[in-house]
Amino acid sequence: MRNKKLVIEIVVLLLVILFLYTGLSKFMDFKGFTYDLNNQPFPNSFTPILKWLIPITEIAIVATLMFEKTRTIGLYASLVLMSLFTIYTALVLLNVFEYVPCSCGGVIKHLTWPQHLILNLFFVVITYVAIRFSNHKALHQYTYSQ
Q: What is the mean pLDDT of the chain?
A: 89
Overall average pLDDT of the 108-127 stretch: 93
pLDDT of res. 75: 98
pLDDT of res. 122: 98
For 79, residues 6+ apart whose C-beta sits below 8 A from its C-beta are: 124, 127, 128, 131
Write the Ramachandran bin of 95: left for phi over 0, alpha for psi from -120 to 50, otherwise beta.
left
The domain spans of the chain are: 2-139
What whole-number distance in Å separates Cα of residue 121 and Cα of residue 83? 8
pLDDT of res. 136: 63
From residue 116, give the alpha-carbon distance in Å to each of 31, 34, 69, 112: 22, 20, 31, 6
Residue 132: pLDDT band (50, 70, 90) is: very high
Overall average pLDDT of the 86-114 stretch: 84
pLDDT of res. 97: 83
Read off the pTM.
0.87
